[in-house]
Structures are given as C-alpha cells and as structure tokens.
Structure 1
Amino acid sequence: MSSNQRNIKWVEGLRGITSALVIATHLARAWDFWLFWPRDSEEVPPRLLQLPYLRIPFQGRIGVPIFAFLTGFVCAYKPLKLAYQHSNAPAALKSVARSAFRRPPRLVLPAVIATLISFVLSCFGTYTVANRCDSFWVRFDAPDPVPFTENFQRLFRSLLTTWTNTENVFDRHQWAMRPLLIGAFQVYIVLAATIGMRFKYRILVHVLLIVYWLMNTADLTETFGANLALGTLLAELSMHRPTQNFISSHQRLLCYVIAPLLILVGGYLGSYPHEHEDWSQWSRQLHQVFVDPAGDQSRGSILVPKGAQGGRRFSTFFIQCTAIAIFISPVFQKALSHRWLQWLGHHSFAVYLVHGTVLRTVGMWIVYGFSGQPWVDPGRNEDGTPKEPEWLHPKSRSHKIMAIIVFTALTYTAAWAWMRWVDTACARATQWLEKKVFDDEDGGGERKESLAEKGYAHVNGNGSLIRPTEADRSQPPP
C-alpha cells in the first residue's frame, strides 16, 4: 500500500472525532449553556471546562467547519490522484462529473429520511417534554405541536427549505446540509477550471480563494468557503512529490515542534468564548488585540476584520492550524488512523442525522420526565401575546449524567443501524441512478444506446460508429 493510500485514513479518523465534538457541543447547549462563557458570572471563578483549550469541545463552532474542510479535501482527492499519478486529465474530469452527480442524492436522501422520522415522532407528541423544558435551545430545536394537517404541510415545506434557506423545523441540525452541498460544487468547479493548469498556478488559485473567503465578512464565509478551499489546497499538496519529500526530510522538526506549536497557538485563540468575553482576562485580551484593537469598534485586525464574527474567525483559525498540523505530521496521521476512530468516522454522518432526534426525545425524557407534567398553560396577556410559562426543571444532576450515558449509547447504536440499512439503501439508489444516467465506461450496450440517442444511427455491436459507405451518403463528403 502506498503512503498516500495509507495516510488518507486520517481523514476518517478526524471525521469521527468531529462527530463526537458535535455531540459534546449539543449536550452543553442543552444542559450546561454556561460552558459557552468564560465563567458562570463575572463574580465567580471559572470552572475547569471553561478554561482555555479545555472549553473547545463544548463551546461549539468547530464541528461544521471541520466537516467543510474534509469536504474540500475528499471531493478533490480522487480527481487530483488521477491527474497526478496517472497523468489522465480526462479521467479526472469524468471523476469530477460522477462525484458531482452522486453528491446531491447521497446528502438529500438520508436527510429526507431523517426528517420523515422526526415528523412521525412529532405526530405522536414525543417532543412534548422538549417543548416544555427550561432549556431555550432545546425548545427552539423541537417542532411545536400543531394540528396534523398543518404539520403535514410543514413537512413538505421543511423538505424544500432545508435546501433553499437551511430551515428545517423537524431537524434544525440540518442547517449545514445546504452550504456543504454548495461547497462541494464549489470544489468541483475549481477542479474543472484548474485541472489543466501548471502546478504553481493551481496552488495560487487555492490560496487566493482562501484569502478571498477570509476577507469576505458575510455570514459563515470563514466556516465554509475558507475551509473548503484549504481542504482542496492540502489535497493538492498531498499529491505533490516535492512537498511530500520536504515533509519526509524534515519530519522531526515538523512533527515535534511546528505541528504542536500550531495546535497550541490555534487552540488558545480558538478558545475565544461565545459571549461575555470581558468576564475573564485572557478572553478580554484576545478581544482587545484582534476583535476591537481601537476600543471603539472602528476597525478590526487581519485575523478578525471589521464586521466579521469574532468567535467563528478564531475557531476557523484553530481548525486551519490543526489541519495543517495533521498534514505535516505523520505521527498525528497515524494516531487518527486508529481503528476505533475509523469506526467513529464511518458512522459520523449517521450520528449527525440522528443525534438531535434522540436528544430531544429520550434525552429529555430522562432529565425532565416522560409525561411533561406538571404543566399549566399560562394563557395570554391583554395584548394577545403568550405569557411566560413555568418551564420544567431537571430532576437532578444524576439524571443528567444518566441521560448523557444513555443518549450517547443510543445515538451510536442508531447510527450503526442507520449505516447498515438506511445508508446502504441510499447508496444503492444512488448507484442505480448513476448507472442509468452515465455512459458505460466499457463501451457496452449503454454506450451504443447513448450514441444512438445522440443521433448516431450507424452503431455496430460493440458500440463503435460504422463508417457509412458511398451508397449511404445523402450528402457529398465534406
């Protein structure tokens, strides 16, 4: 097995860790939102998990950007491998075409099934506890109870708006599906446009794209655009023999000095809190140096331009430092290739699709009770607005711990079942569509049918064109 084939396993391991980070973040959002702050209040000392570095898995903002980076890397890897190792640009372009065709059904079909499952559960009132708990984030994520006809109409709207404006009331975690799908096609367009360029100019394009997305202060450009472009750049460099030779010849320096330093620096900046950054000295210093250097919000910095979201910029910087550290460190790559992480990575997409539904049902039932009682409808104010109700409170801390254990075990069990039956069925459906749509590469019957469809009536048994005789010509030869 070649080094490239062996080293690519780290992608699956990183994907597995990312799915676990998503779970940790959403557990914190549901039951300990204070972990998003540098301390519970300005007057109390920080807890252990609120300190720099330790807070990163729980404060959010890193799961989806890592998926964006991995999308850029994976979508570019196979076409670039054909272009580099086999010097076959036409084959690389055909690979881009087939990958672009497969990407929508491989994302849309599982997402639709996950939405349908959540819809059925909502019809049976399984989100009642989630609608009445004292966690605002869980209440926002859970679909409100409505009559069946309205709920059915809402289902079809959600199936559409997931891919138009990222809104899905039955599974709000699917908000990332649309930008990840668009991002994959961004990678395919870049590959198709640059596959014939010389190496240094392709690299220049990737670097300029990263700079462009980081200079763009529109929402989520650093989350998706910049990380997608970085993934494509690193996929390009992974095929470039001089780059790989340089990494091999400086392995000790890169593995044991540069890579850890990148993670340390990136991790410190990536610890920037979601809000209340002025409550701790370390976060206040980050804000003063990078987010608001002038103190009057008149300008930003290179890392956080004026108008950009500070937290997302810091998290993106950490992710990019980590990605580069993994790329230059065979030690990190080997660690991420562990078989347990490979298993987690193989089930990561399923975990992303099922964990929200499990959390809003079984997780809430354990912490708040199954019935959603006691509950009193608070009624409405004189102006017709609803009054603030008395939300349900957690039974105890031990119930939260039990819920975390059961939720995690049930999520990965459901993900295993999903990959065995649901994802397999979606993969077969996509493969069937691909065979129907694309020409047969071996030039068999499908190629003959395709040539005839394009207007070439003279096709022999093996699918090649028959040169017409002089008697067959209705027009003089050109």
Structure 2
Amino acid sequence: MSARPSQRNIKWVEGLRGVTSVLVIVTHISRAFDFPLFWPADEENGTPRLLQLPYLRIPWQGRIGVPIFAFLTGFVCSYKPLKLAYQQGNAPASLKSVARSAFRRPPRLILPALIATLISFVLSCLGAYTASNHCDSYWVRFDAPDPLPFRKNVQRLFRTSLTTWTNTENLFDRHQWAMRPLLIGAFQVYIVLAATIGMRFRYRMLVHVLLILYWLMNVNALTETFGAMLALGTLLAELAQHRPTQNFISAHQRVLTFIVAPLILLIGGYVGSYPAEHEDWAPWSHSLHKFLVDPAGDKSRGSFIVPKGSDVQRRTSAFFIMCTAISLFLSPAFQKALSHRVLIWLGHHSFAVYLTHGTILRTVGIWIVYGISGEPWEKAGKNEDGTRQEQVWLQSKGRPYKMVAILVFTALTYTAAWAWMKWVDTACARATQWLENKVFEEEDSGEGRAGFAEKGFAGAHMRQQSLAGGQSRPEPNGNGTTPVAQGPVGKPLPP
C-alpha cells in the first residue's frame, strides 16, 4: 500500500518530546541524589549496580535530553514550510510561514523563560535555596543561586535576564543554558529553508547531508549537540514529504520494524552508554574507550564517531540520538507506540516541565531530604596554622526521604507544568499572537491598508480597488508617481 505524506502520523514527534521531558527529570534526580549512577561502577573494581549497566544507564546518565530537543526543533520548524512548498506547491506561502515562525520563536522562548527566572528570583529573595546552598550534593549547590542582599539580587536578575541569551548563563535557573542555542538553531533551520526552498529535491538533500557532516567534523563545543541534530531534523522532515521514501517504508514495514530499526537502536544504545567518568572502572566501558576515543593507544587520533579533540560524552550521546531518530523514522510501529495519548500529553507539557522542574527540585525536593532551614551549618574558616578548614556540608536524612522527595517532586513538577500551560503559556501565546497581528499584514488581503499607508499609497489603495471594478484612473500620488492599477488577477489594467 502506498504511503500518502499528507496522512502521515507525526504525533510521534510530540510523544518523543514527552519521553524526553521525563528523561530530563530522571537524570537531574540522579545528579542530585545518586551521582555515582553516572559511573560504570561505584568504585574501581567494584560490582556495577543494575542501573549502571549498558543500555539501562542511558536515562540516568543524562546528555540526551537537549540533543533530542534540538532534533525536534529541526523537524518541527521545517515540517510545515516543506509541506506547503512541496506537497501543496505553494513556495510563497512556505516562505511566509518561515517568516512568521521566525518572528514567533523569540517571544515564545524568551517570555516563558523570563517568567521562570523571575519566580526563581523571588524564591531566592525569600531564602528558599538555603538548604540547597548547604547540602552535600555538589551539583545542587552549583545550580542553586547564592544568597545576596536584595539590591545585588535585583542587579543579578537583570544581568541574568540578558546573559541567558548572550552567553547561556542563568544564575537563577542554570537549566536554561540550552535556550540560546535552541533559539539560534531554529534560525539556522529558517535560513536553510529560505535558501533551499527553490532547489530540486536531490540538491536539498545534499545540503542537509553536508550540514550534518560539517557539524560532526567540527570539534568546537556543542556542534554535535545542536548543529548536527538540527540538520538531521530538517533532513528527516524532507524525507517525510517524499512519496517514494514513504512508499518504500510502507512496503518494507516488517523488515524495518523488527530487524533494521532494532539493530540500529542496539548499536546506538551501546555507544550512547559511554559513562561520564571513570570509564576504566568496567571492562565494557574501557573497551569502548579504546575503540572510540583512543584506537591507536597513544592518544594520537580519534575515531569517526569521536574525532580527536571533540567532547567524548556528547559525541557518543549524539550518535545514539541519531540512531534513535533514524529508527523511529523507519518504523511506523515505533511511531505508533510514541503516539499514545499519555506521551502526547507529556510532550504538550514538556517545555513547562523544563522551565519549572529545576526550581522545584532545588526547593521542595531538597527540603524533604535535608530540611527546610538548611541549618545547622557553619561556613569553613581557617585552622590555627592558617590553613583552610575543610567545609562540612549538610548530610541527607537517608534513602526513605530521597524516595519521598522523588515522588513529591515529580508530582509537583507535572502539576506545575499543567498550571503553567493553562495560564502562563497561554498568556505568552496570546501576547505573541497580538504582536504578530500588529506586525504582519493580514493573510488574505495582500498588502493591507497599513502597508500601503507606510509607503505613501494610502489613497491609492482605495483607488486601485475602484479601478478593479472599472472606475476612473488614479491620480498621481504624493511622491509624484502614478501607481499602476492592478486587475483582479494581478495584471496591470489597460489605460
């Protein structure tokens, strides 16, 4: 049976977004309460725990949430314009869609992020992060804003509101570090779409493949996390509109679903299991290190997956995300599984989860495990001989408190995400829509009255409409030129 691109199921995209939001939560839970999950074992020559084994460790070790969001940004930002251009044959409408999407993207990211930062600022002023500042979890202490006098805290708020979008630093919510690269990445997609919208299919595909290779060959920071993932999303959005590709997938569903896609996932998952630290503590990770990172044994070269000088952890995770995306694209059964209404609900609330979960974890979650007051605690001073004393941090109350904290934190996060989408995100969407309506011409009116007025053709617009109905010719306008009247099909009317 032939596939019809117009009827393709792309709900899996929202489902994948929902799974990703869950992964972001679980990896931050492990960072806060069980950091050794990032290692292949708790100690050298130690027996690994179940969640430290290959494949099973992937959700807890992190590094995959943001790359998936980057891939989804590339796919979602390009899907509708490509559909307009190639499925409906309307390139002008596609370019207008790109223009409107590019206009909406900054306020739809900046406004919610700014509100989340403001909430964290208020909590900081109220001393809600004291326990996080004093606890024995280094990652939590690093993420929590340090206490400051009110005036300096206000100054920090204004600086942070700017630096989030200049150098990715947000001292009130460090999880927002990815907002700037995702915003820039969206515009990378828009530029590629505008530049290739008139190309033939094979050459557009060549552009996307070359972009992926360029970003993978580039060993600068985060190129594999954002650049390559964005280009892959655009590439798969192209193929989602390509009838021969969809016909091929439909004709070979069983082979792709039960053999090809699982094999790709298995290979990618093993590579993506590469630990964050202490890769020499387990035979499997040590072998993976020698194969991917140091195949020559003298650190003289890397591998195709991990070039010399690149970030090993991010490269291996990026390879896994690429394998996952390709597997999902090739398997309609996998797509159907991700289209479950629960996953779609999670996906709809994923951005709100991303903005709210860090603040809830550093307050309520930490309060349960360490106490609300963060006391008693004393800042380390100096010994009698002048050497610096070792800082003693607050110890957790024990494993049962951590389990309760995880349950309460998760419930509060999704409750907050629901409320955020119902009120905050809706308000931001309305503000963005109002601004868009003020800035852009109306969809069906061509160059509206406001546009003609700005160009000095305020009266000419009405005279054009009269001429289209067979009335008198226009008079010269204020610029000393006579506008050419347009007929109903866009051609100049005869004198």
Shorter-normalised TM range: over 0.9
Structure 2 match to 1:222: 224
Structure 1 match to 2:267: 265
- Give distance in 2, aligned partners of 1:433 and 1:334: 37
TM-superposed deviation, 1:472: 3.6
Native 8 Å contact 2:105 2:183 kept in 1 = yes
TM-superposed deviation, 1:256: 0.8
Task: Output the amino acid matched with 2:454.
Answer: E
Do residues 334 (structure 1) and 336 (structure 2) align? yes
TM-superposed deviation, 1:459: 3.1
Task: Output the amino acid matched with 1:459.
Answer: A
Native 8 Å contact 1:82 1:92 kept in 2 = yes
Compute the TM-score of the two structures, normalised by the length of structure 2.
0.93
Task: Output the amino acid matched with 2:119.
Answer: I
TM-superposed deviation, 1:310: 1.1
- Give distance in 2, aligned partners of 1:363 and 1:168: 21
- Give distance in 2, aligned partners of 1:308 and 1:465: 66
Structure 2 match to 1:437: 439
Structure 1 match to 2:155: 153
TM-superposed deviation, 1:197: 0.2
- Give distance in 1, aligned partners of 2:397 and 2:251: 58
Do residues 72 (structure 1) and 74 (structure 2) align? yes
SS at match of 1:224: helix
Structure 1 match to 2:204: 202
The counterpart of 1:81, out of the listed 65, 75, 83, is 83
Task: Output the amino acid matched with 1:322.
Answer: T
Native 8 Å contact 2:467 2:473 kept in 1 = no
SS at match of 1:180: helix
Structure 2 match to 1:364: 366
Task: Output the amino acid matched with 1:457.
Answer: A
Task: Output the amino acid matched with 2:14.
Answer: E
- Give distance in 1, aligned partners of 2:144 and 2:208: 40
Deviates more, 1:1-10 or 1:350-359: 1-10
Structure 1 residues 199-348: aligned runs within 5 Å: 199-348=201-350
| Distance change (3 Å), C-alpha of 1:470 and 1:193 | closer
Structure 1 match to 2:426: 424
The counterpart of 1:405, out of the listed 375, 382, 407, is 407
SS at match of 1:107: helix
Structure 1 residues 167-206: aligned runs within 5 Å: 167-206=169-208
Native 8 Å contact 1:458 1:465 kept in 2 = no
Native 8 Å contact 2:475 2:482 kept in 1 = no
SS at match of 1:222: helix
SS at match of 1:458: helix
Task: Output the amino acid matched with 2:220.
Answer: A
Q: Percent identity?
A: 73
Structure 2 match to 1:447: 448
TM-superposed deviation, 1:356: 0.2
Task: Output the amino acid matched with 1:455.
Answer: G
| Distance change (3 Å), C-alpha of 1:471 and 1:20 | closer
Larger Rg, first or second structure (1 or 2): 2
- Give distance in 1, aligned partners of 2:387 and 2:465: 73
Native 8 Å contact 1:29 1:137 kept in 2 = yes
- Give distance in 1, aligned partners of 2:30 and 2:51: 11
- Give distance in 2, aligned partners of 1:310 and 1:76: 29
Task: Output the amino acid matched with 1:94.
Answer: K
Structure 1 match to 2:490: none
The counterpart of 2:416, out of the listed 414, 417, 420, is 414
Structure 1 match to 2:459: 458
SS at match of 1:412: helix
| Distance change (3 Å), C-alpha of 1:384 and 1:20 | farther
Structure 2 match to 1:98: 100
Aligned residues, how many?
A: 477
Native 8 Å contact 1:459 1:466 kept in 2 = no
- Give distance in 2, aligned partners of 1:173 and 1:385: 35
TM-superposed deviation, 1:460: 4.0
TM-superposed deviation, 1:475: 6.1
Native 8 Å contact 2:452 2:458 kept in 1 = yes
SS at match of 1:376: coil
- Give distance in 1, aligned partners of 2:77 and 2:14: 13
- Give distance in 1, aligned partners of 2:175 and 2:390: 26
Native 8 Å contact 2:265 2:323 kept in 1 = yes
| Distance change (3 Å), C-alpha of 1:463 and 1:165 | farther
- Give distance in 1, aligned partners of 2:286 and 2:153: 46
- Give distance in 1, aligned partners of 2:79 and 2:86: 10
- Give distance in 2, aligned partners of 1:384 and 1:329: 66
TM-superposed deviation, 1:5: 4.7
Give the gaps of 5 or more residues in structure 1.
none
